[in-house]
Every structure is written in structure tokens, then in C-alpha cells.
């Protein structure tokens, strides 16, 4: 598999070659800067100034040529518009418009390749020097009134040309007695292969130049910046099935409901079975313990199937919830914990992420990723809220139905209904065979592929097509040089995946561990703490937890749409860590009587700050993690899931162990590890960024 530089050169239109951004030249310039800084010949200010000027010149050359070509296309369309009134041969006129459309495809390819090359070289500069130069450069250039960068990333003029070609071809269709245009009936399909190709290319271009990817990156469904072949887009369309995507999002939602529906009543349930209320830590954490292992085998299973893992997940979760509900009548804390373990073994979140990254087409992948985040947030809020509504007590034959057992019965019914829906509606996507992959590599491009040659889309590259970022950074790859096959293979074990992590990525995983630990402590011990200090009922605890859960989506929307455009990610990261630290400090019970306002305000500060931190942290992870972790069993999503799950396990174990010292000491003892881990992550962040900057 060839390196990015060679791919870029192969996709370029030869007669336009001098107008492309010179990726190879800028790559050599970055290496030159690195050597000069090492020997002390250049300082940071000079490097930034010189590289900015070079980028400005490159972009100016590209944009001026782009405007010239847009003008030529517009002039041809205007001439054809005048001829339309005179020429009676409709088919000849249609073909002339299609010729313009084919030339427009070339221009769209030109813009796309330049946009990807620009993003690639900015990322390379950031990783080499750690200056976060991309944020500065894009903000200062894109927001300027004379911005040339806007022509690359907004391409308004190209949209007008696309509209003109589409409208005229639509008007030339035989519609007897109809005077309606595409503007009067925007949903009216225009059956023309050239227009379809143009629209698909424009969609890909819109996606690849969109910087507002915060919610989707929150899901850690990693994005690629390479140049895939046109056939890959067709593969995505063939594998995609809307109902199957909906079933994956429903699985995500139900699993999050299942996780948090027992939190308000877990302490009461433990006490009713003769255990201490703080055993709720083990009951809640048992699901996370099992998820540590289930994430791995579900991730591996999704290499071969999506349907069978989801069926298995539904059955296991159904059985686990039935066991959880029956534990009351069996009067067995062991059955209760085994039921929760069983539920954890049914965690198919790795499959849900994988389906979105592998089977959802480019044009809706970011929406699907945001849907994954939204489903998780909604499930987190609905779980405790639902528990607050299940306040009934009666017997049905020999079964006890009360606030402790109802969460298990309700979720078992929900998973049974989901299983039936899954069996009826899910469509297993076709998995490429090794023979097909070989044939694709050996086969030459078809005529239709030649039309769209070079139209790139930022989808997730398969591991076989991705090049390790570290290799691309450190090796001087000639444009014709072949990249070693080994450097493109996905990690085949957790150990090999760990070796691919840079120090900055390890710090970000530490931050993720910290925020999950803090959130789990807050949520899991809430029923015990509020009962001990404030004598809250189950309903009040449920309302408090539901309100916390409802903040997730609005907070991420605000951060993704506004705050991330005003501040650099590292600034938001540090500010969020400090706010989590302050929330922990405010939560301690030291001198004054512990009050409801102190607990609620400190809890809200901790939770909201941790949510902001999670969004920014995962957004950074999705951009800087090695591309070899984009796919395969041991991918970036799995690593982050494992870090978060282990944090939850340790937090729940901490609650149970601290409970042996008495409920009066539970709050402060569980907050101490949170404080230590938070301070460690802050120092690690400061050290990492100080070494980079």
C-alpha cells in the first residue's frame, strides 16, 4: 500500500499539477524546521511566521486557480443557457451540460485533495512541534473578511455551479405540461448519472471540510484523512441499512438505561437481602467488571458478524435482568450480583460503535455518531427517572413486585421486545472476503471510477489502508515510495495497541480514567449518601440523578458549537480538570453540617465539568491516536472503553470497601482517591503541554 504522498500524486490531474498544494515540499519543510530547531538555528516565532507565509502562498495559488476554473464553467453554462432557446436538439444540449458536469467533478476532486492535503500537513506540523498551530491558523484565516481559506472549506461558488447544472438538466427532462423547477419541487428526483455523481462528490466535500465534529468524536468513532478509492463509498452504501442502524442505537439506549436504572434502589435492595447498604458498590460495579471482558470478545466478534453478537447480547441481558429480579424471592445477594455480572457480559457497545464506523455511509456517519452519543445520554437520564416511577408493591403468584425487583422485570421485558424486533428487522451486512479484497487490489479502475478519480472522503480507513501516524511523521517518504505492510496492520493484542500510544495519548486516557472514576463515585454512592445525610426517598434520588443525566446532551452541544470555537482544546481541557478538582473539594464534609445545597451544587459542578472534559478529551483522542487503532479488534474505541470501565470497577469497589468504616466516613474516604487522581491528571496535563509548548 502506497504512502499518502504517492496517493496524492496519483490522484492529481496532470495539467493542473502546479496549482495543487505542494504536500511533499511542505513535508520536507517541516523536517527542515525540526532539524534547525534542534541545533538552535531557528526559534519558534520564526518557524510559525515562515510556515504561515508558505501556507498562505500555497492556498492563494490554489484558490486563484479555483476561481478561474469556476468562472470558465459559469461562462460555459451561460453560453449553453442562450443556446437552449435556439437549439432544438434536446439530447445534444443535455450532453453538453453533462460535459460541464464532468469537468465540475474534476474541480470538486481538485478542492477535495487540496483540503485533505492541507489538513494533513497541519496535523503533521502540530504533531512534530506540538504548537496547536492548526487552531490558530484556521481561526485567523477562516474568520478574516478577505479569507481565501473559506474558498477551500466553504466552496460557495462551486455550490452555485452545481445548482445551475442540476436545474438546467432538470428543465431539459421531458415533463409535458409541467413548468415546475427543482426549486419548486426540491424532493423531485432527477435521474441523471452525472448529477448523481456531482451530488455525491459535493456531499463528501461538505463532510470533509466540516470542523464541527465534536459530538461525533465524543463517541470515539475515529475519522480518517486519507484518500480511499471510489469503490469504498459503494461498499458503504451496500452495507448500510437504516433499521439496522436504529437497532444499534436502541441497543445503546437500552444498555445505558439498564446500567443506571438500579442506582436509586441498589442500597435498599442490598439491605433487604441482609447486606450492608454500601454493598451497592459491588452490585452496581458487577456490570462494569463483566464489561471489561465483554468489550474484547464483542469487538473481536464484530469482525465477522453484527447480528449474532446483538442477539447474544439481548439474550444474556434478558437472563441477567430476570436473575436480578428473582434474587429478592431467593433472598440471595449472590444471585443479585450474578444477575448484574450477566448483564455486563451482554454489553455490545463495541458492536454498536463498530457498525457505525464500518457500515454507515459518509454522508450520515457524523449524524449517526452524534446519535450514538445522544442515545447514551438519554439512556443515562431515563434509567434513574424510570426507577423513580416504579414505586409499587404487590405479589404476582409467588413473585414479589416492588421498587427493588421492578427494574429487573421491566428491563427483561424491554430486552425481550428488542430481541423480537432485532430478529425481524436487522439485516446482516456483507463482510468482504479475502478473495474479494485481493481482486479489488488487482483490478484496474473502471470507466465510471475514472470520472470520479481522486474524489476523497474522510471515512474510517480499513486497517490495511491506513498508515501509522508515527511512521508518516518520522520517515522521509518519497512520493513513489511504498509503505511497509507491517506499519499498516491493526494492533493484534492489547499489548501491541498499548505500544502505539504516545505519551500525550496516555495522559488523555488517564484523564478519561479520572473523569469516569469521579462520575461513578458520585452516581453510585448517591443513594447511600443522600439517605444518610438528608433522608431522601428513592424518588428524590431518582430525580437528582435524572437531572444530572439530562445535562449531558445540552452541555456537549454548547461545548461543540460555541466554547470549542472560542478556546483551544487544551485550554478547555485544563479548565475542566480544575473545575472537577473544585467540585471534589466542595463535596468534602469537614466542619459545617452537610447541607443539600452543598451536595447538589458540588455534584453538579463535578458532573458537568466531567462531561465537558469527556467530550474534549475524546475529541482529542480521535484526532491524535494512531491510525492503526482505527479498526480491528483492539481499536481506539476499545482502549477508551476499557480505561473507563476499569475506572468504574475500581470506584465501585472503593465504595464497598469504604463502607466497612461506616457510612459517616463513606463520603470523605471515597472522595480522597478522586482528589488524588484528579491532581495527578492535572499535573500530567501540565507537564505534557509544557513539554510540547
Cβ atoms of residues 642 and 513 within 8 Å:
no
CB-based burial of residue 415 (10 Å sphere; 0-12 exposed, 13-18 middle, 19+ buried)?
Answer: buried
Cβ atoms of residues 355 and 302 within 8 Å:
yes
Phi, psi values for residue 399, rounded to 5°: -100, 135
| C-alpha span between 629 and 82 (Å, rounded) | 55
Q: How far is CA 426 from CA 26, 66, 316, 354, in A?
A: 48, 45, 18, 15
| C-alpha span between 120 and 114 (Å, rounded) | 10
Please give the pLDDT value at position 577: 93
DSSP characters over 435-487 = HHHHHHHHSPPPHHHHHTTT-----PPPGGG---HHHHHHS---TTPBPPGGG
| C-alpha span between 142 and 153 (Å, rounded) | 9
Beta strand pairing call for 399-401 and 394-396: antiparallel
| C-alpha span between 583 and 102 (Å, rounded) | 59
Torsional class of 478: left (φ above 0), alpha (ψ -120 to 50), beta (otherwise): beta
| C-alpha span between 169 and 96 (Å, rounded) | 10
pLDDT digits (tens, 9 = 90+) for 103-148: 888 888 888 788 778 878 887 787 777 666 776 777 666 656 566 6
| C-alpha span between 663 and 604 (Å, rounded) | 22
Average confidence (pLDDT) per 10 residues, the chain, 693 residues:
58 80 84 79 78 86 86 85 70 81 83 80 76 68 63 60 73 52 47 64 54 46 48 57 91 92 90 88 89 87 90 95 94 94 91 83 71 81 87 84 92 96 91 49 39 33 36 40 50 75 83 91 90 89 88 77 72 90 94 90 92 77 67 72 88 90 90 95 83 51
Q: What is the dihedral of CA 491, 494, 499, 500, to 10 degrees?
A: 50
Please give the pLDDT value at position 173: 65
Residue 593 in grid coordinates: 453540617
Q: Tell me which DSSP letter residue 573 carries.
A: H
| C-alpha span between 525 and 666 (Å, rounded) | 9
Residue 624 sits at the vertex; the CA angle it makes with 618 and 626, to the nearest 5 degrees, is 110
Phi, psi values for residue 212, rounded to 5°: -90, 70
Residue 25 in grid coordinates: 515540499
Residue carrying C-alpha cell 453538453: 96
Please give the pLDDT value at position 214: 47
Taking each helix axis from N to C end, the angle separating 526-534 and 503-524, rounded to the nearest 10 degrees, works out to: 40
Nearest to 505 by CA among 289, 136, 291, 220: 220
pLDDT digits (tens, 9 = 90+) for 211-266: 334 444 555 554 444 444 444 445 456 678 889 999 999 999 999 999 989 989 98
Cβ atoms of residues 134 and 145 within 8 Å:
no
Please give the pLDDT value at position 23: 82
Please give the pLDDT value at position 147: 62
The rounded Cα 193 to chain-centroid distance in angstroms is 32
Helix H or strand E encompassing 480 = none
Residue 354 in grid coordinates: 463498530
The rounded Cα 265 to chain-centroid distance in angstroms is 32
Q: Which residues contact 330 (CB under 8 A, 6 or more apart)?
A: none
Cβ atoms of residues 317 and 415 within 8 Å:
yes
3-state helix, strand, coil in the chain (%, to 5): 75, 0, 25
Amino acid at each position: 500500500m502506497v504512502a499518502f504522498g504517492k496517493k496524492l500524486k496519483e490522484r492529481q490531474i496532470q495539467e493542473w499539477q502546479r496549482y495543487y498544494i505542494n504536500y511533499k515540499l511542505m513535508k520536507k519543510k517541516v523536517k527542515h524546521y525540526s532539524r534547525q530547531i534542534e541545533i538552535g538555528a531557528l526559534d519558534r516565532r520564526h518557524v510559525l511566521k515562515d510556515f504561515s507565509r508558505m501556507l498562505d502562498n500555497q492556498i492563494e495559488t490554489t484558490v486563484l486557480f479555483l476561481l478561474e476554473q469556476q468562472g470558465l464553467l459559469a461562462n460555459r453554462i451561460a453560453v449553453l443557457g442562450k443556446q437552449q432557446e435556439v437549439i432544438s436538439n434536446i439530447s445534444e444540449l443535455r450532453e453538453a451540460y453533462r460535459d460541464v458536469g464532468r469537468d465540475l467533478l474534476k474541480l470538486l476532486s481538485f478542492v477535495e485533495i487540496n483540503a485533505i492535503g492541507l489538513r494533513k500537513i497541519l496535523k503533521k506540523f502540530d504533531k512534530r512541534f506540538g504548537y496547536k498551530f492548526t487552531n490558530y491558523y484556521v481561526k485567523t484565516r477562516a474568520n478574516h473578511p478577505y479569507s481565501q481559506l473559506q474558498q477551500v472549506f466553504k466552496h460557495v461558488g462551486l455550490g452555485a455551479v452545481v445548482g445551475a447544472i442540476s436545474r438546467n438538466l432538470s428543465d431539459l427532462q421531458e415533463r409535458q405540461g409541467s413548468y415546475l423547477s427543482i426549486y419548486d419541487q426540491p424532493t423531485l428526483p432527477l435521474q441523471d448519472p452525472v448529477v448523481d455523481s456531482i451530488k455525491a462528490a459535493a456531499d463528501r466535500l461538505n463532510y470533509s471540510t466540516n470542523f464541527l465534529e465534536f459530538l461525533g468524536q465524543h463517541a470515539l468513532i475515529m475519522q480518517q484523512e486519507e484518500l480511499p478509492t471510489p469503490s469504498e463509498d459503494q461498499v458503504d452504501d451496500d452495507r448500510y441499512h437504516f433499521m439496522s442502524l436504529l437497532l444499534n442505537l436502541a441497543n445503546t439506549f437500552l444498555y445505558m438505561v439498564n446500567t443506571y436504572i438500579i442506582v436509586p434502589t441498589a442500597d435498599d435492595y442490598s439491605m433487604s437481602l441482609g447486606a450492608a447498604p454500601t454493598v451497592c458498590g459491588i452490585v452496581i460495579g458487577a456490570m462494569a467488571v463483566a464489561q471489561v471482558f465483554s468489550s474484547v470478545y464483542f469487538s473481536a466478534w464484530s469482525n465477522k458478524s453484527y447480528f449474532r453478537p446483538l442477539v447474544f447480547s439481548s439474550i444474556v441481558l434478558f437472563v441477567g435482568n430476570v436473575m436480578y429480579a428473582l434474587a429478592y424471592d431467593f433472598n440471595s445477594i449472590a444471585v443479585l450480583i450474578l444477575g448484574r455480572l450477566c448483564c455486563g457480559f451482554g454489553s455490545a457497545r463495541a458492536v454498536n460503535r463498530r457498525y457505525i464506523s464500518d457500515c454507515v455511509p459518509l454522508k450520515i456517519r457524523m449524524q449517526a455518531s452524534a446519535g450514538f452519543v445522544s442515545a447514551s445520554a438519554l439512556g443515562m437520564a431515563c434509567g434513574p427517572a424510570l426507577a423513580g416511577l416504579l414505586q409499587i408493591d404487590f405479589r404476582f403468584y409467588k413473585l414479589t413486585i416492588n421498587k427493588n425487583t421492578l427494574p429487573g422485570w421491566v428491563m427483561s421485558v424491554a430486552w425481550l421486545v428488542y430481541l423480537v424486533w432485532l430478529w425481524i428487522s436487522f439485516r446482516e451486512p456483507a463482510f468482504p472476503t479475502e478473495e474479494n479484497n485481493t481482486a479489488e487490489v488487482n483490478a484496474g479502475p473502471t470507466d465510471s471510477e475514472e470520472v470520479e478519480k481522486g474524489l476523497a472522503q474522510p471515512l474510517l480507513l480499513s486497517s490495511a489502508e491506513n498508515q501509522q501516524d508515527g511512521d508518516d511523521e518520522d520517515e522521509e517518504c518519497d512520493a513513489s515510495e511504498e509503505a511497509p505492510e507491517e506499519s499498516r496492520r491493526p494492533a493484534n493484542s492489547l499489548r501491541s495497541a498499548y505500544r502505539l500510544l504516545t505519551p500525550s495519548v496516555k495522559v488523555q486516557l488517564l484523564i478519561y480514567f479520572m473523569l469516569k472514576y469521579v462520575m461513578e463515585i458520585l452516581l453510585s454512592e448517591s443513594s447511600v449518601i443522600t439517605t444518610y445525610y438528608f433522608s431522601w426517598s428513592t424518588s428524590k434520588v431518582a430525580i437528582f440523578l435524572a437531572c444530572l443525566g439530562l445535562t449531558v446532551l445540552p452541555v456537549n452541544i454548547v461545548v461543540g458549537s460555541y466554547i470549542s470555537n472560542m478556546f483551544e482544546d487544551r485550554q478547555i481541557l485544563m479548565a475542566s480538570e480544575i473545575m472537577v478538582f473544585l467540585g471534589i473539594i466542595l463535596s468534602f464534609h469537614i466542619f459545617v453540617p452537610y447541607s443539600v445545597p452543598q451536595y447538589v451544587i458540588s455534584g453538579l459542578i463535578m458532573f458537568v465539568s466531567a462531561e465537558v472534559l469527556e467530550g474534549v478529551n475524546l475529541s482529542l483522542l480521535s484526532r491524535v491516536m494512531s491510525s492503526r487503532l482505527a479498526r480491528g479488534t483492539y481499536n481506539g474505541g476499545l482502549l477508551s472503553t476499557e480505561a473507563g470501565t476499569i475506572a468504574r470497577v475500581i470506584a465501585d469497589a472503593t465504595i464497598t470497601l469504604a463502607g466497612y468504616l461506616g457510612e459517616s466516613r463513606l463520603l470523605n474516604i471515597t472522595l480522597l482517591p478522586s482528589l488524588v487522581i484528579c491532581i495527578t491528571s492535572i499535573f500530567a496535563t501540565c507537564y505534557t503541554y509544557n513539554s510540547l509548548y
